[in-house]
Structure 1
Amino acid sequence: MPSAKGLMPLILVVGMLLSMSGWALAEEGEAAVADALAERLAEKEAGLRDFYAAREGRPAWQEAETVGGFAAALRSLEADGLTPQDYRPDALVAGYRQVQAEEQAPAARARFDLQASRILLTALRHLQRGKVDPHSIDPDWEVPIDAPPLDLAAVSRAVDGQRFEQAFALARPSAAPYERLRAGLARYRHIERQGGWPKLPQRQQSLRPGDIHDDVPLLRERLAIIGELEVMVADLFPGVESGAADPRRYDDALVEAVKRFQRRHLLEVDGIIGPRTQEALNVPVGERIAQIRVNLERARWLLHGLPDSFVLVDIAGYRISYFRPDGRVWRSRIVVGRPYRRTPSLRSAITHLTLNPTWTVPPTILREDVLPKVRRDLGYLWREDLMVLGPSGQRLDPREVDWSRPGNIMLRQRPGPQNALGRVVLRFPNEHLVYLHDTPAQGLFASEQRAFSSGCIRVQGVLELAQHLFDDTGTPAHVASLVAKGATRNIYLERPVPVILHYWTVHPGEDGELVFRPDIYQRDAALLSALDRPLSG
């Protein structure tokens, strides 16, 4: 009988042979699944074929650790505002166990592999381009989703290494605003888990600086929860240390915190707790979470393929930003369309500027706004410096027009200080005939919420923006000199400048804090409903 020492080499050899046999069986099984995959891929969608082509036909989901890790990663998509159950992580794990427990044929294992890969590609597509098709909720949508092709070879390597967060990162927008929205979502969900924030009782009178009221400690707590006040005993209960101040006094520190809150919610920044400020304070944290989720979806539609230099019109934020080629950013206030004459979302390019423009009254404004005024008082035409033109452009005498049935006339306003378009118009092709322009009504820019126009965008300081566009595109023109000449003139840019008009009701501020805006066009509810609708199939 061999000694224990003599048995050791024999045991090692047998172990190696058994291990090699296991490897061979595993390779043989994987090869059989790969053959079954190849038979089925010809009839599958292009995305699946491309994914397996990047893998040279190898199956991806034959190991328990890989499937389990993928299921856990799918549950983490909640951090992007998506619904993990859309991707059925529990059913995925159960399906794998069933296939393995029954030792099913390679064809069944191939079907499971295809199913899991389809779920992966669906999740990646949702992260990259959004779950909801924007055209399904906004028929006027004109912004192409310019996401780059996915690097499926890199995705395949991430799957093999069970680095699913890395695979997701390849798909989701890499822009800083998207990451700030994700961070904000995590923060507000944490607040929700802690019980949310208190609701202020309805008040008949506004709470003003210096007032003493029982609601003040509750207001302190509300603002401390979201970080407008530092969370300190002295903040929540003033006078604890000194024993002097009344904790019910609406003091200067709290007023400043309220003003910050108002600024982040596009309210009038006056420190007064009136009806609109109280309404914003009492929005439940769950509604704020839903609002962030909706805007993460909008970010997935937009934040890909952005040029280095472009003009961004933030409709719900009443702001315009020009990202210049040298890295500087020019920002200003804007006036946008009223709720019943909405400024559309679109993507185009500024091609030329009109200096000292005339203004031809658009048909809708003519029919709904101007004609009723003219019928009441013909002098309106002279006060607004409006010419009456016939169908072929001939000048008509207003007194000879039957204003009850004016026919196919046009009203055109001459250039001048009262022209509705001001002194300059920035033009870009679009079906809605909207553009960026100056305005004689400069006082409207003082309001925090500025939905006053008929769809076009009025820009504060637009002459400065126009000069930047000329300078940055090498267009030899001086705005102030040309405006002073008074003549109407079109000047084409040497290079068109991309322009994007987009609608955000939550956006990270310059300091990273989330800014919540009123949903002036009532678009959030339809998008949230579509985002929460379960996937079919």
Structure 2
Amino acid sequence: MGQLTRLFVISRVFIMVFLISGTAFGETSPIMPETPPIGVQGAAPNDVVGQAIQAVLEPLQSAFPPLLTARRHQRLDINRVVLDFYAHRNYRAAWTDGRDVAQLLKSLNDTKIDGLVPQDFRIAELEQARLALQATAPTPAQSAAFDLAATRTYITALLQLRRGKVDPSRLDFHWNFDPVGVDPREDMNSFFAALDAHDIARAFALAPPQETVYRNMRESLAQLRKVRDAGGWPKVAEGQSLKPGMDGVAVAQLRARLVAAGYLAPTKGKRNDYDDSVIAAVKKYQTEQYLGADGVAGKTTLEALNVPVEARIDQVRVNMERARWLLYKLQGTFVVVDIAGYKVALYRDGQPIWRSRVQVGKPFRSTPVFQSEITYVTFNPTWTVPPTILVQDMLPKIQQNPGYLAANRIRVFDRQGNVLDPSTVDWSNAKGLTLRQDAGPENSLGQVVIRFPNDYAIYLHDTPHRELFAKSVRATSSGCIRVENPLQLVELLFNDPVRWNSEGIQKQLANGRTENIKLPVKVPLLLAYWTVDMSKDGRVTFKPDVYGYDSPVLRELNLPTKLPALDLPRADTALVVTEQSKL
């Protein structure tokens, strides 16, 4: 094959590679604010493989121009990373040491321990291509093609481990999380420094989140897979509730299932009576699975016990993906609302120093997932009725009971802010009206509101509906987060033991005035959604997916990553991309 023909084939092949293949997130990867290469001189005259790499990449520079500024949600195709990587190294091949390739192949296969799909990375094709290159005298074009494919796969896998495979902003238009303190350029530098140091395994070890909760999920995933490979959990017959005092085959099955999950000692597994040990084990299971802890294995409890282990494996994988989106190293003080877990925690220096139960939005008025900063607190708040609640909830009550507004201390205002007599209002046509509930103990927002900027009118607040905190499932609000012990949180947020101690807060409330008080320091807030927990003894526990958010993540997580498929090299042809890469 002549030199011009070979260059034409190479260029055409790699234009196809870069244009039809995806990236670490399936189609895109995070933007890398870019510094133009310095001192790039091109491949050395005696570097024929480097010249082949340069011949492929140089024509693509204009197709993937540098992005000089990073804006929120802007993304850069992974091709830009590959282009810049080789340009900075004057197009020298990166995978000339067979030990590096061996480490890469093993590390790609090991991504399964993080819930990823090793088949995404076309390990078998890379291995076959490596062996074929070793068995023949490859052309520079073939060596260049393999080098580029290995680099792309290396970056793709590491970015999936580092930042996730799925792009969360495509699943949730509320998504506004930025990886604060995580510079993509630093990631790339560390990845390629590991390659230069011939320590590929270390790059893969350090890419995922290093937090304990992530390591625990990884260990739990391995344990669940062992259960799956051993045939799964014992099934418990459904159809009737199992209660204390009962005995029989179904109770024996229940005991076996509780033993398999670690809730009952193995020595208790061969009996068939529902004694105190079974009651205690069922209550513990129910508590950890966010079910009503009554010690009775009723319909809901039996359904949870009989969820196949494969489904629980997927649930852990989904939450490991969420961890890769969110588990950045936050410093200082921050608040996390666990929406699916109905709880809130305040952290200092990475450790939780306060926790409380919360109520979150009903499934049809779900609390959105987003981040913000707590900026001020409203004492003795009034409550302006949101339009949706006015139309859907309040108008029917007003129409049925003319005294409803007075009984709940709600006043009616027109567009000009004038107070109206409710008896003069045509409640069948309530356009242009504002309803506002006066401050007081029975105000829907309680005594205090914790506020943060957002587009959804969401805030943390007190509530008079305290009886609902006793429920296991607390998706009961219209979207905002009701906090069980909000005054404790307010004291911690102000962090001023002189003025804003418990006594000072009570004094502020006692004056009865509606006042907004700014925090001395803004406090980061994350509203997150997790459907697994870790028990105190390290066991994975599962929450109901109250909003149905797991399925879309799992679907995207299981979609194949778009990477080029490689044909084995032949004597007179370059490696080519097959049509499989379009699938």
**Aligned 8 A contact 2:491 2:500 in 1:** no
Quote the residue 2:224 is aligned against.
188
**Aligned 8 A contact 1:424 1:437 in 2:** yes
Q: How well do the aligned residues superpose, as a CA RMSD in angstroms?
A: 2.2
Instruction: Give 3-state SS (helix, strand or coil) of 1:425's partner.
Output: strand
Q: Which amino acid aligns with 2:51?
A: D
Task: Name whichever of 329-338 and 47-56 sits farther off.
Answer: 47-56
- 1:238-277 Cα offsets, whole Å, 9 max, x none, are xxxxxxxxx2211222222212211110011121111111
**Map 1:80-119 → 2, pairs under 5 A:** 80-119=114-153
Quote the residue 1:209 is aligned against.
244
Q: Shift of residue 327 of structure 1?
A: 4.7
Q: Which amino acid aligns with 2:248?
A: H
Q: Which amino acid aligns with 1:223?
A: L
Q: Which amino acid aligns with 1:65?
A: R
Q: Which of residues 358, 363, 373 is equivalent to 2:397?
A: 373
Quote the residue 1:37 is aligned against.
53
**Aligned 8 A contact 1:324 1:330 in 2:** no
Distance 1:450 1:158 in 2: 47
Distance 1:406 1:154, change over 3 A: closer
Q: Which amino acid aligns with 2:277?
A: A
Q: Which of residues 417, 424, 434 is equivalent to 2:441?
A: 417
Q: Which of residues 299, 306, 309 is equivalent to 2:333?
A: 309
- 1:482-526 Cα offsets, whole Å, 9 max, x none, are 011111000000110000000001122344221210000011111
Q: Which amino acid aligns with 1:214?
A: V
Distance 1:151 1:528, change over 3 A: closer
Q: How many residues align?
A: 499
Instruction: Give 3-state SS (helix, strand or coil) of 1:391's partner.
Output: coil
Instruction: Give 3-state SS (helix, strand or coil) of 2:249's partner.
Output: coil
Distance 1:148 1:475 in 2: 39
Distance 1:436 1:251, change over 3 A: same
Matched, 1:517 2:562: no
Quote the residue 1:17 is aligned against.
none
Instruction: Give 3-state SS (helix, strand or coil) of 2:453's partner.
Output: coil
Q: Which amino acid aligns with 1:512?
A: G
Distance 1:325 1:159, change over 3 A: closer
Gaps of 5+ in 2: 1-43, 62-78, 563-580
**Aligned 8 A contact 1:336 1:456 in 2:** yes
Distance 2:201 2:511 in 1: 60
Distance 1:374 1:356 in 2: 25
- 1:374-409 Cα offsets, whole Å, 9 max, x none, are 122221111211100111211111111111112210
Q: Shift of residue 416 of structure 1?
A: 0.5
Q: Which of residues 500, 525, 534 is equivalent to 1:499?
A: 525
Q: Which amino acid aligns with 1:274?
A: G
**Aligned 8 A contact 2:380 2:509 in 1:** yes
Distance 2:298 2:45 in 1: 71
Aligned sequence identity (%)? 44
Which TM-score applies when normalising by structure 2?
0.81
**Aligned 8 A contact 1:54 1:152 in 2:** no
Distance 1:272 1:524 in 2: 28
Q: Which amino acid aligns with 2:200?
A: F
Gaps of 5+ in 1: 1-27, 238-246
Matched, 1:159 2:195: yes
Q: Which has the higher contact order (CA 8 A, sep 6+)?
A: 2
Q: Which amino acid aligns with 1:408?
A: G
Distance 1:189 1:213 in 2: 30
Distance 1:108 1:386 in 2: 77
Distance 2:377 2:499 in 1: 11
**Aligned 8 A contact 2:237 2:253 in 1:** no
**Aligned 8 A contact 1:475 1:493 in 2:** no
Instruction: Give 3-state SS (helix, strand or coil) of 2:233's partner.
Output: coil
Q: Which of residues 513, 523, 537 is equivalent to 1:487?
A: 513
Quote the residue 2:411 is aligned against.
387
Q: Shift of residue 52 of structure 1?
A: 3.9
Distance 1:310 1:53, change over 3 A: farther
Which TM-score applies when normalising by structure 1?
0.88
**Map 1:233-272 → 2, pairs under 5 A:** 234-237=267-270, 247-272=271-296
Distance 2:183 2:224 in 1: 31
**Aligned 8 A contact 2:331 2:349 in 1:** no
**Aligned 8 A contact 2:103 2:201 in 1:** no
**Map 1:343-382 → 2, pairs under 5 A:** 343-382=367-406
Quote the residue 1:72 is aligned against.
106
Quote the residue 2:173 is aligned against.
139
Task: Name whichever of 445-454 and 304-313 sits farther off.
Answer: 304-313
